[in-house]
A and B are shown apart, each in its own frame.
Chain A
Amino acid sequence: MPACPRTGTNKGVKAGTVKSNASEEGRDTVPVPGHFIIGLGRGIGGALLFALPMQMTMEMWELGFSMDRWRLVLLLVVALPLLVGIAHKVGFEETFDLKEDLRDAFIAYGLGILTSALVLLLFRLLQPAMPASEILGKIAIQAVPSSIGALLGRSQLESAHQDSGNDDASYGGELLLMAVGALFLNLNMAPTEEMILISYKMTDWHALAVVALSLVLMHGFVYAVSFKGGHEIEPGTPQWHAFIRFTLPGYVIALLISLYALWTFGRLDNVGATPAIMAMIVLAFPGAIGAAAARLIL
């Protein structure tokens, strides 16, 4: 990419511009409480940054009581391995083993529940007269995006974050990052009625055009970002290699996450295959951009 100067990753830039010495000291020693509290603060910030759009979305409040309970349970369970995976890449502390990843994941989950409950209380969406299942449901469904945000808050807001774990990112880690990027944009839009409304307005031809555009945009990001960040793909690798190894799997991840989100939010009940695929393609459009740009936004 001659157009992008090799200035290193954005994380490298962030690390360079504002440098605190806290994390440098904490690298080898047991983290000091002050540092940990700062980490919690960043987690809360990240939870708000990520989840506030959803906390202020009407459909999300309704899902709190209308959503199928088993799907809610499944969502809450599925979130955990995802959080552990994210914690492995970006945690509250530099993590090296599963125990620490689990700890970070649970801290993030806790922060997600706490911030969701506070924000919903603040908006007077939780009231004592409501049945317990409604209150719990409303908090629980918000806690998942909030907890993802709390974990990402570290990489988003921590100025001195050295993503040492990303330098030797594995292929699986790369795909996980794409999944998180897809979720980042996807979850904001998935609960809204507009997703299915757009798919109803489109014809099959429009959907095919959206698929093509999603892939082209994704590949642009993958190609540009990968060479800027200089990870996985060696310079000189043919374009189509990157397309098959990164762009297509990334798009399929965005599609699958979209499908899961739509199903979770009850948008696919009794819906035929073609309308379901159309809605999936619509939602995967922002998801694809999020997945491909994960290196930039995470």
Chain B
Amino acid sequence: MPDDTGSAKPSRKPLGRKAHWLEWATGLVSAALVLTMVGWLAWQAAGEEDGKPELVVQAGTFESTEGGHRIAFTIVNRGQRTAAAVPVTARLYDQDRLVEEREVTLDYVPALSSTSGALLFGTDPGTYRLDIRASGYEDP
């Protein structure tokens, strides 16, 4: 090794060549992708005022499990902001009498997205009136 000190590295020559057309193609495709992304976000940002989460809970299927009953649900956030720590409460009513109440807390329901989960009851929910809703949320 003639150049052992490492203080200078003339061997790393800058390859006196022109850029291949493929490099320009890659660069231009990348530019298009980044510009599209920025454009999309800017368009969203311009359209969005001060958005709030809009949570809708839809009860899914009832299932019998070992020692209980499961109610699956999907929670949709149609708002422009994410909701955090969302308690989903489900109550079973016999006429106006509360039979059973269960609650589960979801970490996040992102904006314009959905999350799913399930609540586990002791009594068979099939025979009662079900009330399921998101009881609140935190701003993340």
Contacts and interface: CB of A to CB of B under 8 A. Distances in A.
Contact of B108 (A196, A204, A246): A196
A220 interface: no
Interface residues of B, number: 46
Given A200-B82, A241-B19, A270-B116, A251 B30 contact: yes
B98 interface: no
A203 B112 CA distance: 14
A69 interface: no
Contacts of B27: 244-246, 248-249
A171 B27 CA distance: 11
Contact of B111 (A9, A168, A275): A275
B44 A231 contact: no
Interface in B1-59: 1, 4-9, 11-16, 19-20, 22-24, 26-31, 33-34, 37-38, 40-42, 44-45, 48
Interface string A94-110: 00000000000000000
Contact of A8 (B1, B7, B16, B111): B7
A230 B9 contact: yes
Given A9-B9, A15-B6, A251-B34, A204 B23 contact: no
B110 interface: yes
The SS class assigned to the A binding surface is helix
Pick the most buried of A175, A229, A271: most chain B CB atoms within 10 A of its CB.
A271
Given A208-B41, A231-B14, A271-B110, A171 B9 contact: no
A274 B111 contact: yes
Contacts of A215: 34
Nearest to A7: B7
Interface of A: 6-9, 12-17, 19, 24, 167-168, 171, 175, 193, 196-197, 200-201, 203-205, 207-208, 211, 215, 229-235, 241, 244-246, 248-249, 251-252, 255, 270-275, 277-278, 281
Given A171-B23, A245-B26, A270-B115, 17 more contacts: A8-B6, A167-B11, A167-B13, A168-B15, A196-B110, A201-B140, A204-B48, A205-B45, A229-B12, A231-B15, A235-B14, A244-B28, A245-B19, A248-B34, A255-B34, A273-B112, A275-B111
Interface of B: 1, 4-9, 11-16, 19-20, 22-24, 26-31, 33-34, 37-38, 40-42, 44-45, 48, 82, 84, 107-108, 110-116, 140
